[in-house]
Structure 1
Amino acid sequence: MRCAELVLPAGDLDATIAFFVERLGFQLDALWPADGPRAALLSGHGLRLRLDPEVGSGSHARLRLTDDERAAGSEEVLLAPNGASVLLVGPPAPPTFEPHTSRFTVSRIRDEARWGVGRAGMEYRDLIPDREGGRVIASHIRIPRGGPVPDYTHYHHVGFQVIFCHRGWVEVAYEGQGPAFVLRPGDLVLQAPRIRHRVISCSDGLEVVEVTSPAEHETRVDHGLELPGSLDRPDRDFCGQRFHRHVAPEAAFAPCELDGFEAQSTGVGEASGGAGSVRRLRAVGEGEASIAGGSELHILFVRTGRVRVEVDGEERVELGPADACRIPARRGFRLSAPGGDCELLEVKLPGS
């Protein structure tokens, strides 16, 4: 057996965590999902607690044991002679996704008034509500009031994650990357899988765009690592990827294959080992760009100005600032900027 956990009802998760941490002296070890936490792991006093939303309020506690010799994802319930319930589970199975037919979708800022509160008080707006059947989550995240952020050193079990600064600034620190630094509009970081990091402070009105795969993943706390730290392993390999920071003023826009647009490369494709790519697109004329239907899923987020998007077989739509769209793989489309002052964030991921 690798670990034992006492499974308790999650109930009001924030209140339950606060009770165990502030009143009883436990520490938070993990919670998920980040954009709307429903479950958590805590530890303390020789115990490990799992707060599970599937356990009803008033239910008896259950002992949960992880056995690495069992089949991945398997479960078996045992009943002890004293009536105690014991759940034996195998190691986590690789993520599985729902059967899903990707389609062209639009997320408009004026239509999407719902902002959910996620980890560390951050507000999340979902740019792809169906999340490609669980394959990817694209979030517009904001912190209205600046200052110190109540964050802690943590890491994510992900395959790809990129953070792009849209408005304001945010101070962050990463494992092995030396002193804290500030992301400003146009900057981004590729958060390689399981790299430890922490958000330290931010400006009023901070807004970032985050794209992550898979959509649901654990956020784990690292109580033993203090950040900021030293610049000791800047090129460390994390599951075939490396941390990468793109500083917008240090990279030029250049002509690209899209008529009427120029592009600023960010280096994400190389640093992520092809798990995804990101670039900024800026209109430079009245031309219309045609993109053939390839094997990649496109996510477009409008930073400034307006853009017209016409996907094969769909009506043309016009998007404004903070609007976004998802264009499925194997669907050709066309882009044009009627005002000529348009800037887009383009994220491409392997199609499902």
Structure 2
Amino acid sequence: MSDILAEIRLPTDELRDDIPFYTKTLGMRLDMIYPADDPSVAVFSGHGVRLRIEKGATEPPGTLRLRMDNPDGFANGARELTAPNGTRIEIDEMQPPLVVPQALNSFIVRRLADQAPWIVGRAGMHYRDLIPDRLGGSIIASHIRIPDGGPVPDMVHYHTVGFQLIFCYRGWVDLVYEDQGEPFRLHAGNCVIQPPEIRHRVLYASENIEVIEIGVPAEHVTTIDHDMTLPNGPANPDRRFQGQRFVHHQKDKADWRPFRVPGFTARDTTIAENTGNVAGVMVARRAEGDPVWTAHDADILFTFVMEGTMTLEGEGRDPVPLAAGDAFVIPPGMRTRYADPSSDIELLEVSLPGTFETMQG
């Protein structure tokens, strides 16, 4: 295959003004200039890009983003510049700090029967949004399905997140994670957390697999890692990724204990412990006793109905009948009751932080 060299063409009115800006201010290299008697084209390279600045070009001047480890030490600390040819220069950190917006809580019910649209997203997966307003950008909850099954066209990648959960709702999926050994199968009822920036890849999915994915914050960056191959060696289960340990929770090995809401029992996924209390994940089902009115003081409390039916009663709200596939968010301080739960009710509850107070009555 022959070599290929890509250039981005930008316009200019006066090339002589652009040369010192791109070479001295931006630190790029002048690779080509012509014609000699009256230059109208100059080619610069640097910072991973090659620019062709051409007098009389009709393209708009555009924007050039430069990301670096020490932006304060570049271009006298300026974060925005305008080149003589009109190109806007944005200068930013290579790895900007993760910002999780404060949750703007509201009472939300998302019912499967309301037929919210499924959107085709990354790697051909279908996404259904379970928290439409995303609580001010603080969280995203997605119901994801892969209708056809088989090999998944995924690449090794990672997410810049504060917390991320993958809960297998239906079917199974084969996954592989950085420093977690060989690929494994995530079965229905089991879950994993993907600690910040852990490399991973989705390999193979059963037909009509469905998962619930929680991400904090709602908008986060997914980065493809073209250099890492997975699996990458023996498992290192004690490794921490920005303070969090990888968790593969399996329902068959779980202990069931009284849930925070009377009338239910629950299995703890140990996610609160392994994230340093960033988040907690519980699976609750019906037990003896009558449901009572409760309130909580968590920042975020999200619940997905996996099986069965119930009626969600909220103070000052009309009762809402719920069934499998429905989801709801209860804001802190709001009194609610999980009324009329069926014997097969099963709830997936995700909280931030992992531990919080529940008040009865």
The normalised TM-score by structure 1 is 0.78
Q: How does 1:74-93 map to 2 (within 5 A)?
A: 75-80=79-84, 83=85, 85-91=87-93, 92=96
Query: Contact (CA 8 Å) 2:103, 2:137: kept in 1 or not?
Result: no
Post-superposition Cα deviations, 1:81-102, rounded to whole Å, max 9, x if no partner, equal xx151413232355263x8642
Q: Where does residue 290 of structure 1 map in the other structure?
A: 293
Query: Contact (CA 8 Å) 2:175, 2:183: kept in 1 or not?
Result: yes
Match of 1:262 among 260, 265, 273: 265
Unaligned runs of 5+ in 1: 1-5, 9-44, 50-57
The normalised TM-score by structure 2 is 0.76
Corresponding letter in the other structure for 1:64: R
Query: Contact (CA 8 Å) 1:70, 1:90: kept in 2 or not?
Result: no
Match of 2:338 among 329, 335, 338: 335
Q: Where does residue 141 of structure 2 map in the other structure?
A: 138
Corresponding letter in the other structure for 2:325: A
Query: Contact (CA 8 Å) 2:280, 2:353: kept in 1 or not?
Result: no
| SS of match in other structure, 1:113 | coil
Match of 2:321 among 310, 318, 324: 318
Distance 1:48 1:109 in 2: 47
Q: Where does residue 309 of structure 1 map in the other structure?
A: 312
Corresponding position: 1:95 with 2:78: no
Q: CA deviation at 1:331?
A: 1.9
| SS of match in other structure, 1:70 | helix
Query: Contact (CA 8 Å) 2:98, 2:160: kept in 1 or not?
Result: no
Q: Where does residue 300 of structure 1 map in the other structure?
A: 303
Post-superposition Cα deviations, 1:21-76, rounded to whole Å, max 9, x if no partner, equal xxxxxxxxxxxxxxxxxxxxxxxx99459xxxxxxxx64443322352339x9841
Which sits farther off after the overlay, 311-320 or 274-283? Answer: 311-320
| CA RMSD, Structure 1 to Structure 2 (Å) | 2.6
Post-superposition Cα deviations, 1:4-36, rounded to whole Å, max 9, x if no partner, equal xx999xxxxxxxxxxxxxxxxxxxxxxxxxxxx
Query: Contact (CA 8 Å) 1:122, 1:141: kept in 2 or not?
Result: yes
Q: Where does residue 173 of structure 2 map in the other structure?
A: 170
Going from structure 1 to structure 2, the CA distance change for 1:171 and 1:273 (only over 3 Å counts) comes to same
Query: Contact (CA 8 Å) 1:259, 1:287: kept in 2 or not?
Result: yes
Which sits farther off after the overlay, 264-273 or 287-296? Answer: 287-296
Corresponding letter in the other structure for 1:306: T
Q: Where does residue 63 of structure 2 map in the other structure?
A: 62
Distance 1:166 1:127 in 2: 14
Q: Rg bigger for which structure?
A: 2
| SS of match in other structure, 2:245 | coil
Corresponding letter in the other structure for 1:223: H
State the identity %: 42
Unaligned runs of 5+ in 2: 1-6, 10-45, 51-58, 355-361
Corresponding letter in the other structure for 1:242: R
Corresponding letter in the other structure for 2:82: L
Corresponding letter in the other structure for 1:95: V
| SS of match in other structure, 1:110 | helix
Q: How does 1:186-205 map to 2 (within 5 A)?
A: 186-205=189-208
Distance 2:187 2:133 in 1: 30
Corresponding letter in the other structure for 2:72: R
Going from structure 1 to structure 2, the CA distance change for 1:256 and 1:96 (only over 3 Å counts) comes to closer
Going from structure 1 to structure 2, the CA distance change for 1:100 and 1:225 (only over 3 Å counts) comes to closer
Q: Where does residue 128 of structure 2 map in the other structure?
A: 125
Distance 1:234 1:328 in 2: 35
Corresponding letter in the other structure for 2:230: L
Query: Contact (CA 8 Å) 1:285, 1:340: kept in 2 or not?
Result: no
Q: CA deviation at 1:263?
A: 0.4
| SS of match in other structure, 2:135 | helix
Query: Contact (CA 8 Å) 2:175, 2:184: kept in 1 or not?
Result: yes
Distance 2:49 2:316 in 1: 53
Query: Contact (CA 8 Å) 1:294, 1:331: kept in 2 or not?
Result: no
Going from structure 1 to structure 2, the CA distance change for 1:243 and 1:266 (only over 3 Å counts) comes to same
Distance 1:74 1:266 in 2: 47
Q: Where does residue 210 of structure 1 map in the other structure?
A: 213
Q: Where does residue 247 of structure 1 map in the other structure?
A: 250
Going from structure 1 to structure 2, the CA distance change for 1:74 and 1:170 (only over 3 Å counts) comes to farther
* Segments of 4+ moved more than 3 angstroms: 45-49, 58-62
Query: Contact (CA 8 Å) 1:260, 1:336: kept in 2 or not?
Result: no
Q: How does 1:261-280 map to 2 (within 5 A)?
A: 261-280=264-283
Q: Where does residue 54 of structure 2 map in the other structure?
A: none
Corresponding letter in the other structure for 1:248: K
Query: Contact (CA 8 Å) 2:156, 2:229: kept in 1 or not?
Result: yes
Corresponding position: 1:108 with 2:89: no
Query: Contact (CA 8 Å) 1:307, 1:342: kept in 2 or not?
Result: yes
Query: Contact (CA 8 Å) 1:163, 1:209: kept in 2 or not?
Result: yes
Q: CA deviation at 1:233?
A: 2.2
Q: CA deviation at 1:140?
A: 0.5
Query: Contact (CA 8 Å) 2:154, 2:203: kept in 1 or not?
Result: yes
Which sits farther off after the overlay, 103-112 or 254-263? Answer: 254-263
Q: CA deviation at 1:142?
A: 0.6
